[in-house]
């Protein structure tokens, strides 16, 4: 019998609150990592599949472990055009006086924040020279205070002793909240309206999966937010609209959409929606039966609760990047915290739908840092031999007419009763649809 995935029990406990029989596995291999990254890929995608099967069909869930690992990375192979670079000119790891720090500068306002603190122009060497003059924690604090994104590399022991690491140690994998009885509603994904206010990878991965099994996903972005390197990954299957929530008309439009939504998935910082006039009380008054699932970077308690954060920064903070002992950051081979959290978010949406079909309204909160804590429980030997490398056979024959050109995509890893997800809307640029339900 195949070995039980090391994360399965804890995932079931966190999402279903009870043991559940696992999915079947095909395919094999591992991503080269000091952590069980491929196990997490397989189990988190399996979890979303099992959550879907629990909704009603009770179908057989099968995960291809090799493809699951590949879906934790970029899945598209452009035909005759080029995808943009994943990182901007200065994003990356830099040596400071007492260690290493990572700057996340893909968004222009985050880049401006880092450059204003370092007082240099947009030039990698200039940034490197300036960073060398700083203590890591001081620089991290200064960039964060300027509304930017940076993380000093800490060991796992340092993180465990850090006030944020200590707060996180007391948090569950999923913060479930029970809102009491509601009218039971059918739990099918067909025609389910999912309002998606998430960005970059983690949240959008969740709603991409829901779209692949039939949900009507409407993603809303601010007027100037762009994600050139990942839009082709995360817009698959969704309609994408823009609203400036600081304008009364657009805010009113979003509230209209919310009144009709079944599910609201969001990845704004803990206090950002409140500041936009869309706090939890407002949302519940607008639509008392809307399922609300959110994700944050550093958890839902502790001094860093409102901090901006990305997968690569959380890896630096919590000890993943330092785990090799090489004295320099060694990141995970893929952005596994984002992807795993995304599939957990999808599983929580599905589990909430199941509860609502039985007349109970629930909401859930997750975080990248708590997912990191799960991953860090299982270390392993770094094996490059036999490591998964994408090849032509991993791609589907189907041609996807994306908004940028034709492309092949890696075959999806999940099947339920032999049925793979199917996306009816190809990937395309943000804000190209109107802010209305289909
Ligand atoms: C993703 C973020 C880093 C993005 O950072 P920011 O752009 O600085 O986000 P904020 O949420 O603070 O939004 C900035 C400001 O824009 C405002 N804002 C946001 N949306 C709108 C719209 N639609 N209209 C008008 N104004 C808006 C918001 O209220 C803030 O106002 P002010 O408050 O006035 O400034 C952060 O939101 C975040 O940490 N989210 C939680 C975790 C998360 O989802 N991380 C990314 C996962 S993917 C990942 O990790 C990875 O790929 O790696």
**Confidence category of residue 302, pLDDT binned at 50, 70, 90:** very high
- Residue 175's pLDDT is 98
Quick check: 343 and 173 in contact, CB under 8 A?
Answer: no
Residue 2 has pLDDT above 70, yes or no: no
Substitution site in 202, 248, 272 for ligand 1 pocket (most atoms within 8 Å of beta carbon): 272
Quick check: 357 and 216 in contact, CB under 8 A?
Answer: no
DSSP states along 32-63? S-SB-HHHHHHHHHHHHHHHHHHTTT-PPEEE
Residue 220 CA, closest ligand 1 atom number: 23
Q: 308 C-alpha vs ligand 1 centroid, how far in Å?
A: 7
Mean pLDDT of the chain: 95
CA–CA distance, 151 with 140 (Å, rounded to integer): 6
Q: 157 C-alpha vs ligand 1 centroid, how far in Å?
A: 29
Q: 18 C-alpha vs ligand 1 centroid, how far in Å?
A: 34
Q: 378 C-alpha vs ligand 1 centroid, how far in Å?
A: 31
Tally: H helices and E strands in the chain = 16, 16
The predicted model scores a pTM of 0.97
Report pLDDT digits (tens) over 21-48: 999 999 999 999 999 999 999 999 999 9
Report pLDDT digits (tens) over 245-263: 999 999 999 999 999 999 9
CA–CA distance, 117 with 430 (Å, rounded to integer): 30
Q: What percent of the chain has pLDDT over 70?
A: 99
Residue 309 CA, closest ligand 1 atom number: 39
**Confidence category of residue 57, pLDDT binned at 50, 70, 90:** low
Q: 262 C-alpha vs ligand 1 centroid, how far in Å?
A: 23
Q: 268 C-alpha vs ligand 1 centroid, how far in Å?
A: 5
10 Å CB burial of residue 252 (0-12, 13-18, 19+) is exposed
Across the range 366-391, mean pLDDT stands at 90
Substitution site in 221, 269, 299, 321 for ligand 1 pocket (most atoms within 8 Å of beta carbon): 269
- Residue 1's pLDDT is 40
In this structure, the residues whose C-beta lies within 6 A of any atom of ligand 1 are 107, 199-203, 222, 243-246, 267-269, 272, 275-276, 295-297, 308-312, 335, 338, 368
Residue 107 CA, closest ligand 1 atom number: 7
Residue 204 has pLDDT above 80, yes or no: yes
- Residue 382's pLDDT is 76
Residue 56 has pLDDT above 80, yes or no: no
Q: Report which protein residue has its CA nearest ligand 1's atom 45.
A: 310
């Amino acid at each position: 019998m195949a070995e039980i995935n090391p994360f399965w029990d804890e995932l079931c406990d966190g999402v279903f609150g009870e043991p559940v029989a696992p999915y079947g596995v095909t395919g094999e291999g591992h991503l080269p990592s000091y952590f069980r990254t491929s196990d997490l890929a397989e189990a988190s995608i399996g979890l979303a599949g099992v959550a879907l099967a629990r909704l009603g069909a009770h179908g057989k869930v099968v995960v291809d472990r090799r493809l699951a690992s590949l879906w934790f990375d970029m899945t598209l192979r452009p035909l005759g055009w080029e995808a943009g670079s994943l990182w901007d000119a200065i994003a990356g790891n830099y040596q400071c006086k007492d260690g290493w720090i990572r700057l996340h500068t893909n968004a222009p306002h985050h880049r401006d924040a880092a450059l204003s603190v370092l007082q240099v122009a947009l030039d990698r060497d200039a940034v490197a020279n300036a960073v060398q003059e700083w203590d890591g924690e001081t620089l991290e604090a200064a960039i964060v205070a300027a509304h930017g994104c940076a993380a000093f590399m800490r060991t796992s022991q340092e993180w465990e002793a850090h006030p944020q690491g200590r707060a996180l140690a007391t948090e569950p994998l999923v913060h479930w909240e029970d809102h009491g009885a509601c009218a039971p509603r059918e739990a099918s994904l067909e025609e389910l309206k999912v309002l998606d206010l998430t960005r970059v990878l983690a949240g959008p991965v969740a709603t991409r999966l829901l779209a692949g099994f039939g949900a009507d996903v409407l993603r809303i972005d601010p007027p100037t937010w762009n994600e050139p390197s990942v839009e082709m990954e995360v817009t698959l299957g969704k309609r994408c609209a823009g609203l400036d929530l600081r304008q009364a008309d657009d805010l009113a439009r979003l509230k209209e959409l919310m009144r009709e939504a079944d599910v609201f998935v969001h990845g704004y910082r803990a206090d950002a929606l409140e500041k936009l006039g869309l706090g939890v009380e407002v949302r519940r008054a607008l639509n008392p039966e809307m399922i609300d699932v959110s994700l944050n970077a550093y958890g839902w308690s502790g001094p860093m609760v409102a901090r901006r954060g990305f997968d690569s920064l959380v890896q630096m903070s919590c000890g993943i990047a330092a785990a090799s002992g090489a004295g320099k950051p060694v990141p995970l081979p893929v952005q596994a915290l984002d992807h795993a959290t995304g599939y957990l978010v999808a599983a929580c949406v599905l589990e909430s739908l199941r509860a609502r079909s039985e007349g109970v309204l629930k909401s859930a909160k997750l975080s990248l840092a708590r997912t990191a804590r799960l991953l860090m429980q299982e270390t392993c030997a770094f094996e490059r031999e036999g490591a998964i490398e994408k090849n032509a056979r991993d791609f589907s024959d189907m041609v996807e007419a994306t908004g940028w050109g034709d492309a092949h995509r890696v075959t999806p890893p999940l099947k339920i009763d032999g049925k793979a997800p199917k996306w009816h809307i190809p990937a395309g640029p943000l804000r190209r649809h109107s802010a209305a339900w289909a």
